[in-house]
C-alpha cells in the first residue's frame, strides 16, 4: 500500500505515503525516510475527516507550510540569505494566504468543519 511520492533533497531522503486516499480523496499518513528507506526520519499524520465530526486528529497543510516559512525566515536572517530563498519564502507565504482564504470562505458559508463542499 505504501508508495514513494517524492525523492527529497539531492536524493538524501524520500517521502512515502503510507495509506490509501480517504476523506476528501487525499492520503493522511506520510513518512520521511532516508534515501535507502531503512530509517524513518519523521511521520506526518494529517487531519482525517472534518473537525466537527472527527475532532482534531492530525496536522493541517497550513501547519507544515508555517514550519517551512519559519525555517526560511531563519535562513534569510543569516548567512544563507539569497534570492532563491526569498522567492521560495514569498511563494510559501502566498500558499498559506490562499489556504487561509479557502478556510475563511468556508467559515463565511457556514460549512467549515463539515463534509459540505
In terms of C-beta distances under 8 Å and separation of at least 24 residues, what long-range contacts does 40-49 make, across chains too?
Answer: 41/13, 48/22, 48/23, 49/23
How many CB atoms lie under 10 A from the CB of residue 86?
Answer: 13
- Give the integer Cα–Cα distance in Å for 10 and 35: 9
51's CB contacts (< 8 A; 6+ apart) are: 113
The residue ranges of every structural domain in the chain are 1-59, 61-110
Residue-wise pLDDT tens digits, 9-53: 678 999 999 999 987 899 999 999 999 999 999 999 999 998 988
- Give the integer Cα–Cα distance in Å for 3 and 16: 5
Instruction: Give the model's pLDDT for residue 37.
Output: 92
- Give the integer Cα–Cα distance in Å for 104 and 86: 27
21's CB contacts (< 8 A; 6+ apart) are: 27
pTM over cut 0.85: yes
Average pLDDT, the chain: 93
- CA 19 from chain centre, in angstroms, equals 16
Amino acid at each position: 500500500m505504501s508508495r514513494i511520492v517524492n525523492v527529497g533533497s539531492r536524493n538524501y531522503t524520500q517521502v512515502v505515503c503510507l495509506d490509501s486516499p480517504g476523506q476528501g480523496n487525499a492520503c493522511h499518513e506520510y513518512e520521511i525516510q532516508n534515501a535507502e528507506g531503512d530509517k524513518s526520519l519523521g511521520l506526518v499524520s494529517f487531519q482525517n475527516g472534518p473537525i466537527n465530526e472527527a475532532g482534531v486528529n492530525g496536522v493541517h497543510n497550513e501547519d507544515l507550510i508555517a514550519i517551512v516559512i519559519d525555517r526560511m525566515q531563519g535562513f534569510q536572517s543569516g548567512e544563507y540569505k539569497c534570492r532563491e530563498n526569498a522567492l521560495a519564502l514569498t511563494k510559501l507565504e502566498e500558499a498559506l494566504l490562499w489556504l487561509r482564504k479557502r478556510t475563511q470562505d468556508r467559515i463565511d458559508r457556514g460549512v467549515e468543519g463539515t463534509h459540505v463542499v
